Amino acid sequence: MPENKTPQAAADRGAAAMGAHHFARVHGISKDKALRLLQRLGNNPEKLKAAAEKLRR
């Protein structure tokens, strides 16, 4: 099956990376750690914030 090259598909691919970068910067953790948290916990703000705070300690 060919890759979906619509503008929306490109935006969706970039959204996760941009979200991880912003989340990492706001919470003072690395982008890699932010990506792992997002993959593990999904898009739940309360759980993500709590996990990021634990990583900073």
Owning domain of residue 47: 7-56
pTM: 0.66
pLDDT on residue 11:
45
Residue 1 lies in a domain: no
Provide the number of structural domains found in the chain.
1
**pLDDT by residue (tens digit) across 15-49?**
566 688 899 999 999 999 999 998 998 888 889 89
3-state secondary structure the chain: CCCCCCHHHHHHHHHHHHHHHHHHHHHCCCHHHHHHHHHHHCCCHHHHHHHHHHHHC
Residue 49 lies in a domain: yes
**2 lies in a domain?**
no
**45-56 vs 7-27: helix axis angle to the nearest 10?**
40
Which has more confidence, 50 or 6? 50
